[in-house]
Structure 1
């Protein structure tokens, strides 16, 4: 290369990073900030290598063999999953009385054969259902004359004896092909449903399968001695068993329905997912030319799709927001999977028989809720919206302590930190009056369960930055609203965390994402609060909503161990807790708002967490730093060069000098 061009080339190379940095920064600044969407339902199915056929293509898929006369009728499969005790109709919830009407109307249609099934988790959930351990809802399902149901993981929540009792109460088969006790199946693996015994060839082979995640998604004592085998292997084994028996009897079944409480969560092992099962069944040569319907549950996903030439997949979401409906026209191998939404069901009349059952259950439940848990509350436990969504409150402390208390012995590993979102606390408990079961339900009305997940210290830090990330409150004149300590108050956020077993120091004067100054976690061994270790793993107890990444807590998620309903744990804690320890409504003792300009960690901190600590003991603590995270930006996902940074200016100047030198050199006359 000619030397006179060397310096300009070098100058360009030196200038490029500065200009590129400015361009990246400008593009980043111009891009709109992404909003943190509340996680209401999990993502759509992850099918890995599967190539699902669109549901619309079902019209074109026909059986390669001549259909029996029964297929001149349409075939309709109505299904539910993950109802979790939603007996009563509410906004967005169909309720059992309207569900009964939907079933009744579909069965009344003379041009179709109708099968009604459930994919599990029918009984546990809302307190109204939990109050009878799901038995009252089992009677409602009998009234609606379901044809079959799969066993979900939450069917075990009231213990193994109760699961066995469901088998006695239900007048239809409770199915699970892969649940074993002492080497034998605990439930029927399959059933043959014959809707019209005068017609041959219209029978349904219905198979049930349960997620092996049940081993960690109910209390270990509830499944003592129970094992869960591989779902796909077991379903294929049952298909082989059913077909062998059918051949011996001279029969050939053409309709297979798999009730799969497996789900499609990305945290579920691929081989245990409902989508993987559906794909595998589409490749099973034993099912070639036969209709296969996979009705899934567990992940609370709304999903409708098809696989290969003959497998139709449907899942309704959860909580009776929808009723699933799969329609097969005559000779079709692929069905049309759809959903009947709560908005569609709202205009329907209630089934009078089921409506009376629901009314009787509710009246009894309301009477039971008048039962006193605490004879007289010595303090007001404040659950006002503008309080629990903004800062630490005594009600938030009690509820978080109840989670921490359960987590001491309720999970396979003791809980390190307990949190719950302020948006889930819906009522104040007044001073000087009894605390009833009804009050407990009013505080925690959503039927959430306790979940425990493993998190790193970095995830804990990110979680609290998210919790404390709201904009600041201002009055009508635009001035910041201050708390009693002179610190700016955050705008209310349902994701504000109430905590136990941890102390979080923060300054609302700092920018969102950089407000956390220090985090201390109670050491279960020493009894002292230690600084959070970003690389360490901690056990976090919370509600199932947050554990799945709800309220924008996308840093959470992963495999989780599940406990009882939150209201049950809260009620048990209230029975023995010394509520006088919670007298101060806004104690500022766990999520601690401070001015970072004057902040230093205290040399001695009394342990006042009633559940997480011995309330009578003060443990001296020593610290080496004043602000644990004060010297680093802790939330940004990628470091971008600053257009005004010293590095960029240096590169720019060097490039300019080199460029000028190159130009002068190129204009220098040649030597003769």
Structure 2
């Protein structure tokens, strides 16, 4: 490399003019919410034509032991924490490689020459500063050790692709300030803005940007028409050498318009990612020519992701492909270090673009090694490799220990002494179907909504993406546990909605595409119904019973909706012309997560964690024993649903459609209404359901209670045990009249 010539004027990428705002996604516009929907089949097909060669890792039950495909494999796969499944390219084929990508990285690093540069990067850390071997979390003390080791051997750059400050209660309790201090200690060179960077409000984000001692950059976020932060930065680790400078550009998902609370982004707009990144490249190249310089390496810190529910034009993979075909970058090295979709994925586009994403939660550290000629390797350092080959930085560990002690003192207050059940907040549960944690949180909202507002509430909903942790069985529930479940600081709100609004709301909630496994086969639930892809907007409910068939087109899946009447304590079919009172969190009440049919005037209450904590002090948690009760949002085939209604309506056409009940409600309802299971209905698919009638014979009651206790864990569909499980589930699914006919207050 030649010695650098002295240039009087320092290059500034802040000269980039305000980009085209005609395509801006306004945070407070209805169109922004409507745009973030599951792509159509045609959109998916477009993504499938991407000319990429990729390697990826598939995580088993234990995230710390994630096998990664070899460098020659071509398959797109997700970790267990991924919210959506990316679309494989047309040339991608599955491989079963046991050799981790980290082996390639290790080999490359041992052959590094003096001009070798190592890039270490993270994404979607979500406050995981503390090492956690059980969950495969590397933690920032060990990350700092990895960084120090790499820097001792040669030029090293360290980046973060967003969603770092917010996530766990330990980071949320200081609104990201403790996390910012730790990132300073690790020694990051730059980061971009993720959607969750806005969760503590715009003013707090600005404060955090001043607290960190490295630049936070994004090219497509504007406040009142002016860029929020600088769009790029230029890093020069060896000032005496010309040509090794690195241009770093940031870009943020326009989905932020619906992925943080609207109050956090007042006046904020998000423009098209690809348009903005290209505009920054053009400006940098123009400035370089004017100064007689040449930049050979571009690194894009993107928080875009590759979720199938993200519009194709906003995906990180689409950006990578576009840059591989962009003439000003021809012959240059381009790295796209992505985040947002929590995906463990690496790929190459064309002959000059490398894409890397590390998964999430600091389970891995991304590593790309290159020299003046080419990229030598790209992959990740796994949790296991980090533990084996690196040492923690004791200074950073002491800092984190002090933060942890401060947090524990505040969060250790016990709310209830013991939880008799496990309440599942697993991402692949709460974002896919009804869960017991979702039920108890929604019940807390509905319970609060019976007396706290001007009008009693009919129903309550909360988005599955807002439920972030599991509550363990046979352990105390503390303040910290509750904050871990509800970390966003949302408040309770009640809004008046029409029946049509409710119908449209559930159409959106149940509108995800279907899950498929690695072979492309549809993933089924215990009842043989297809499971939906995870979506943060999937609603957990109370005061509603929604029957739906996932085999139908998204807009036609809903079979029926019953809504709770607080005056009679019974359920009635939804009337699209009537008004109802819905209690929810203020995020959804303001149209967040794309629920634009909500919005409008509302009454507000205290924080959700306060309401949830109060409810737990008097709730009977034993009635939430079944993790997936299928009792409120009820996945059922159209044939089974029709058969059940036909049988019941033949006896009494005035009765509501048959409705399942939770096993938790069986014991209480048996005491009050004394129904009896007196008739067996076999559906066309051979599933067995029990229909209740109102009489005084109780000889079958014990059988119902016994079946309720046996259905917490159902065996795999297809074996003999599964038929017994289905029989037990059937007993739970219909006991008609228990929740719809008995007198008195609904048993939440």
Shorter-chain TM-score: what band? Answer: 0.5 to 0.7
After alignment, is 392-401 or 299-308 more displaced?
Answer: 392-401
Q: TM-score, normalised by structure 2?
A: 0.55
Alignment partner of 1:456 is 2:498: no
Q: Quick one: structure 1 residues 290 and 417, their matched pair in 2 at CA, closer, same or farther if it must change by over 3 Å? A: same
Q: Is the 8 A contact 1:260 1:294 kept in 2?
A: yes
Unaligned 5+ residue runs, structure 2? Answer: 1-77, 105-111, 453-457, 492-501, 515-522, 529-538, 549-557, 586-592, 600-605, 635-643, 662-677, 688-748
Q: TM-score, normalised by structure 1?
A: 0.60
Match of 2:737 in 1: none
The whole-number CA distance in structure 1 between the counterparts of 2:233 and 2:393 is: 28
The whole-number CA distance in structure 2 between the counterparts of 1:147 and 1:268 is: 28
Q: How far apart are 1:229 and its partner, in Å?
A: 0.3
Q: Quick one: structure 1 residues 394 and 85, their matched pair in 2 at CA, closer, same or farther if it must change by over 3 Å? A: closer
Q: Quick one: structure 1 residues 456 and 340, their matched pair in 2 at CA, closer, same or farther if it must change by over 3 Å? A: same
Identify which of 266, 274, 282 aligns with 1:240: 282
Identify which of 406, 410, 420 aligns with 1:364: 406
The whole-number CA distance in structure 1 between the counterparts of 2:173 and 2:653 is: 46
Q: How far apart are 1:304 and its partner, in Å?
A: 0.7
Match of 1:208 in 2: 250
Could you give the per-residue CA deviations for residues 353-385 of structure 1, whole angstroms, max 9, x where no partner exists?
A: 11011100100000111357x6xx6x9764357
The whole-number CA distance in structure 2 between the counterparts of 1:422 and 1:93 is: 16
Could you give the per-residue CA deviations for residues 96-147 of structure 1, whole angstroms, max 9, x where no partner exists?
A: 111111111111113xx21110110011111111111111111111111111
Match of 1:571 in 2: 609
Q: Quick one: structure 1 residues 418 and 499, their matched pair in 2 at CA, closer, same or farther if it must change by over 3 Å? A: same
Q: How far apart are 1:166 and its partner, in Å?
A: 1.4
Q: Secondary structure at the match of 1:206?
A: strand
Match of 2:392 in 1: 350
Q: How far apart are 1:339 and its partner, in Å?
A: 0.7
Q: How far apart are 1:197 and its partner, in Å?
A: 1.0
Alignment partner of 1:98 is 2:142: yes
**Which one scores higher on RCO, CA 8 angstroms, separation ≥ 6?**
1
Match of 2:382 in 1: 341
Q: Quick one: structure 1 residues 228 and 541, their matched pair in 2 at CA, closer, same or farther if it must change by over 3 Å? A: farther
Alignment partner of 1:149 is 2:182: no
Q: CA RMSD in A?
A: 5.5
Q: Secondary structure at the match of 1:346?
A: helix
Alignment of 1:77-476 (within 5 A): 77-90=119-132, 91=134, 92-110=136-154, 113-332=155-374, 334=375, 336-347=377-388, 348-371=390-413, 382-384=420-422, 397-402=439-444, 417-418=461-462, 424-427=470-473, 436-440=478-482, 444=485, 454-456=505-507, 459=510, 469=527
Q: Quick one: structure 1 residues 449 and 211, their matched pair in 2 at CA, closer, same or farther if it must change by over 3 Å? A: farther
Unaligned 5+ residue runs, structure 1? Answer: 1-36, 60-69, 471-496, 507-515, 544-557, 610-625, 636-672
The whole-number CA distance in structure 1 between the counterparts of 2:118 and 2:292 is: 26
Q: Is the 8 A contact 1:118 1:259 kept in 2?
A: yes
Q: How far apart are 1:406 and its partner, in Å?
A: 10
Q: Quick one: structure 1 residues 499 and 630, their matched pair in 2 at CA, closer, same or farther if it must change by over 3 Å? A: farther
Q: Secondary structure at the match of 1:266?
A: coil
Q: How far apart are 1:201 and its partner, in Å?
A: 1.1
Q: How far apart are 1:560 and its partner, in Å?
A: 7.8
Q: Is the 8 A contact 1:51 1:307 kept in 2?
A: no
Bigger radius of gyration: 1
Q: How far apart are 1:329 and its partner, in Å?
A: 3.3
Alignment of 1:588-667 (within 5 A): 591=631
Q: Quick one: structure 1 residues 498 and 263, their matched pair in 2 at CA, closer, same or farther if it must change by over 3 Å? A: closer
Q: Quick one: structure 1 residues 587 and 267, their matched pair in 2 at CA, closer, same or farther if it must change by over 3 Å? A: closer
